[in-house]
Structure 1
Amino acid sequence: MDTLDQQARHYAIVARAIAFIRANARAQPALADIAAAVHLSPQHLQRVFSAWAGISPKRFLQYLTKEYARTRLAAAADTLTVADDAGLSGGGRLHDLLVSCEAMTPAEIRAAARGIDIGHGIAPTPFGAALVAWTARGVCHFAFSTGDEEAMHAELRVLWPAATLRRDDAHAHALMQRIFPRPPTRGSVHLVLRGTNFQIKVWEALIRIEPGRVLSYRQFARELGMPRAPRTVGSAIAANTIGYLIPCHRVIRAGGEVGDYRWGSARKLALLGREAARQDA
């Protein structure tokens, strides 16, 4: 059974393969070409892909095309899947993970300005290493690594300037085991949101988009009752600093392009591809 560390190492190979495929999409590279680009034999690449995604590279790559994305967008329902009172849908969610959230009250925000204790640490995930931070009430930050660990911690300090930051990689690793359980088991994660009322409304709606489903910015804005303001909605999506758990990666451009992503477009493709593969399975 693959550990999170093994999955993270496999993801590094998958990410390089995705980057090569995107750069050479018109040539429709064969498995041997992709394997050569990442310095593996075709057989080894096949094994790594299958271990990480659960399907063959050829099948997985079908989920990364604009044509597939456009098909998903066209099939999107007119109404977002309604979550239960806890904040989520049930058994259809990837890994049966239940995410609940609550916003910080004005009093708590004032208290945060005077200082709040925040634990944080870096740990492996199936999509590479990530920095996770938490308060006594739940996760308040989740950022995939972009290769600069100091920049990741600097961003956390900017977001919580008055906080007392306490590093605890062991707890971060245990938390990742709950977020990405192996084997898939029913679990729950609580989020603590800090933002404007509008941003929180957008983030809560993002949580209700099920894995394997994508919406365009315009579709998502329409679901929020703001059909003429996709850019305003897009700004709130871009302000999300709790990656994966608030799945902003499930909103893409209308033409099928994945668009920008705070933690890299290749990672956004990997997130979408893996979710689509598991949902179809």
Structure 2
Amino acid sequence: METYSQIDYNRIAQAIAYLKVNFKQQPSLDDVAEHVNLSPFHFQRMFKEWAGVTPKKFLQYLSIEYAKSILKDKQATLFDAAYETGLSGTSRLHDLFINIEGMTPGEFKNGGEQLTINYSYAESPFGSLIVASTGKGICYMAFADDQNEALEALKNNFPNAQYHQLLDMIQQNALYIFTQDWSRINEIKLHLKGTAFQLKVWETLLKVPIGGLSTYATIAASINNPKASRAVGSAVGDNPVAFLIPCHRVIKSTGEFGQYHWGSSRKTAIIGWEAAKTTLGKV
């Protein structure tokens, strides 16, 4: 059964998909509201509650020209600036730090038989989530449009681990990232299974500030492997932690948003939401 949050997100997602296809025509509020079967007044109110800006303003954040301008303005100094600020302040979520600890071979030997994993389901502005943790940190987060499928995907990563459906403090702390009260977030630790190359790419993604965008080529250059754009793309696609590791901020060099493991409309929604929040000075 869909929750009210999921129903609202689905309507917003439909609206965003419509805007994404038709942004060159600059559709009116009435056009978009009619597309999602809501009155203009109700749709405007719902959209502003979700994004913090009007649909008209949000439309600006969906255009390819906007993406190109962000890349042009920030690409050259993106990683240096993020590093110099310690990934904090307005370029990140206040004093939020996210650190990755790679699993040892023993921790995921034989399908994770030495791991005990807690998991739970939660709501976000972009739909339902499954989030899982070991005693050392978040090991998995994914959008869970179907809870059974999401759980099976988690178990495929660690088929021999011991599982408990339990919301623990590690998960709760990470989920604060979707609220406006980021002062409640402590340091978020991720406990991830990945190759040395994948972990390096995921750590680099954490340096892309909220409201910022990067490209596969830029990520490859930043890890001193400029010819590895294709391998970077694979590592980005294999990211096991939705949103916390911001693979949604990597787009094509043309400025087009491209594909996303959890759906291109969801990627567009997240990019627009982050851009709106940054512009409004809420981060």
Instruction: Give the TM-score normalised by the residue count of structure 1.
Output: 0.89
The answer to whether the 8 Å contact 2:102/2:199 transfers is yes
Deviation at 1:78, TM superposition (A): 2.5
Contact 1:216–1:253 under 8 Å retained in 2? yes
Structure-1 separation of matches of 2:170 and 2:33: 33
Q: In 1, distance between residues paired with 2:94 and 2:271?
A: 15
Hey, what's the Cα distance between the residues in 2 that align with 1:44 and 1:109?
49
1: distance between equivalents of 2:167 and 2:29?
37
Q: 1:173 and 1:107 mapped to 2: Cα distance?
A: 23
Change (3 A) 1:60 1:175: same
Say if 1:279 and 1:81 are closer, same or farther in 2 by CA, change over 3 A.
Answer: farther
**Other structure's SS at 2:204 match:** helix
Deviation at 1:6, TM superposition (A): 6.6
Asked whether the 8 Å contact 1:7–1:52 carries over to 2, the reply is no
Q: What pairs up with 1:23-62 in 2 under 5 angstroms?
A: 23-62=21-60
Given that 2:61 and 2:272 are in contact with CA atoms closer than 8 Å, whether structure 1 keeps it comes out as yes
Q: What is the Cα deviation at residue 168 of structure 1?
A: 2.4
Show the counterpart of 1:228.
Answer: 227
| Aligned position for 1:197 | 196
In the alignment, is the contact (CA less than 8 A) between 1:72 and 1:213 conserved in 2?
yes
Q: CA deviation at 1:7?
A: 5.7
2:74 is equivalent to residue 66 of structure 1: no
In structure 2, do the counterparts of structure 1 residues 191 and 261 end up closer, same or farther at CA, with 3 Å as the change threshold? same
Tell me, yes or no, if structure 1 residue 158 matches structure 2 residue 153.
no
- 1:13 is matched with which residue? 11
- Give the CA deviation at 1:177: 4.4
Q: Could you tell me which of 172, 183, 187 is aligned with 2:181?
A: 183
RMSD: 2.4
Deviation of 1:28 after TM superposition, in Å, equals 2.5
SS in 2 for 1:105: coil
1:123–1:169: 8 Å Cα contact kept in structure 2? no
CA contact (8 A) 1:120 1:169 kept: yes
Is contact 2:132-2:138 (8 Å) kept? yes
For 1:140, the equivalent position in structure 2 comes to 139
Change (3 A) 1:58 1:98: same
CA deviations on 1:254-280 (whole Å, 9 max, x unpaired) are 111111101111111111111111112
Tell me, yes or no, if the aligned pair for 2:47 and 2:55 is still in contact at 8 Å: yes
Distance, in Å, in 2 between the alignment partners of 1:95 and 1:51 is 22
- Count of matched residue pairs: 275
Corresponding residue SS for 1:94: coil
Q: Deviations for 1:169-192, whole angstroms, at most 9, x for unmatched residues?
A: 587984564232343425132111
Query: Once the two structures are superposed, what CA deviation does each residue of 1:49-82 show, in whole Å capped at 9, x if it has no partner?
Result: 1111111110011101111001111112424146
Question: Residues 122 and 131 of structure 1 are in contact (CA less than 8 Å); yes or no, is this contact kept in structure 2?
Answer: yes
SS at structure 1 position matched to 2:138:
strand
Other structure's SS at 1:109 match: coil
C-alpha displacement of 1:25: 3.4
In 1, Cα distance between equivalents of 2:175 and 2:102: 24
Report if the CA contact (8 A) 1:21-1:34 is conserved: yes
C-alpha contact 1:123 1:130 (8 A) present in aligned 2: yes
What is the Cα deviation at residue 195 of structure 1?
A: 0.4
What SS does the aligned partner of 1:89 have?
Answer: coil
> TM-score scaled to structure 2, two decimals?
0.88
- Structure 1 position 157, deviation (Å): 1.0
What are the superposed Cα offsets for residues 75-121 of structure 1, whole Å, 9 maximum, x if unpaired?
12424146669x95112213653212211123333386333110111
Deviations along 1:219-242, one digit per CA (max 9) or x if unpaired, are: 221112121221111111111010
Task: List 4+ stretches of structure 1 deviating above 6 A.
Answer: 170-173
Alignment of 1:261-272 (within 5 A): 261-272=260-271
Gapped regions of structure 1 (runs ≥ 5): none
**Cα distance in 2, alignment partners of residues 144 and 78 from structure 1:** 32
> Which residue identity is paired with 2:108?
I
Give me the whole-angstrom Cα distance separating, in 2, the residues matched to 1:172 and 1:262.
24
Q: Percent identity?
A: 40
